[in-house]
Amino acid sequence: MGGWITLILGCFTSYIFFKETNYIFLVLSAVTTIVSFWSFGVMHNYAMDSAVYRIDRLKENFKHEGRPQEEIDRLDRIIINPTEKDLNNIPDVLTYINMGSSIMVIVFFIIMIIKSIVIT
């Protein structure tokens, strides 16, 4: 759920809270943005490690089958995209952390909008 959108929303929200000198919401918004983006990166790393491991196993299988070296080297040039099986290797705890922090970033964004409307 998190990622680039919550990073942009969180940075914008933190900036507006900073401009309004509302430091409690600034710190809370910044922390949830950092946690959301961190968990997004860690989940990405789990998926990519799984995809790279899958390609490495395929290269080992090609070597054991006696395939030509050109065919094995061709695997090094392909773009590695995580599949659904790779995504299933991500621990559930990281997904819950990411989902919760992303929801909190959106909540702080809504609070920022409401505070901006009420103040003006």
pLDDT of res. 42: 93
Find the domain containing 14 and state its range.
Answer: 4-119
pLDDT of res. 73: 87
Say what the pTM is.
0.80
Scored b (16 or more CB within 10 A) or e, 23-39 reads eebbebbbebbebbbeb
- The ranges of the chain with pLDDT < 50 are none
pLDDT of res. 86: 87
| Cβ-contact 86, 54 below 8 angstroms | yes
pLDDT of res. 72: 86
| Cβ-contact 61, 35 below 8 angstroms | no
Task: Tally the domains of the chain.
Answer: 1
